[in-house]
Amino acid sequence: MWATIVRMADPGDSYPLPDPKLRAYDHGLGTLSLDGELRGYLASVVRRMTFPSKAPWPWFRVIWLDGRMEPSFEDYGPGWWTVRELDAGTLDYNGPSIDKERRVLGVRFRYSVPGDDCAFDFAWLDREAAAAKWNELGLRDEDF
């Protein structure tokens, strides 16, 4: 089971978006590296919130080099926690999920747990390279 961490907004925690429309995030894709070694990719799409405004609503998905995908996650203002990390060239996330199995009363349950905490270096691919990698990875908007 996945736990969602909710950061409580503090009025001083707002982040002014350099691009209020988050153009780089719409069908964007960037690299996730540790110590200079490519470990995976972060893909993103931008949707629009319907309430309370038409604010941008970015969704993200980590894809590891072996093709496994982590569950999608979102970001929004005023804190923009993920966006501010990516704008700074980093992403605090977990390593690849670990598949586990447990038997309870003879019934087998399979589940995943997040990998170790990691501080990845992040860099956007240019639009052409991102589009080609989206195609290669078989990503679709519905994946978010």
The string of DSSP codes covering the chain is ------PPP-GGG----SSTT-GGGTTEEEEEEETTEEEEEEEEEEEE--SS---EEEEEEEEETTS-BPPPEE--TTT-HHHHHHHTTEEEEE-S-EEEEEEETTEEEEEEE---EEEEEEEEPPHHHHHHHHHHHT--GGG-
Distance separating alpha carbons of residues 144 and 58, to the nearest angstrom: 10
Tens of pLDDT, residue by residue over 23-34, are 999 999 999 999
Q: Tell me the C-alpha distance between 61 and 72, whole Å.
A: 5
In tens, the pLDDT along 70-94 reads 999 999 989 999 999 999 999 999 9
Confidence of residue 3 (pLDDT cuts 50, 70, 90): very low
At 1, the pLDDT band (50, 70, 90 cuts) reads very low
pLDDT at 5 over 70: no
**pTM for this entry:** 0.85
pLDDT (average), residues 125-140 = 96
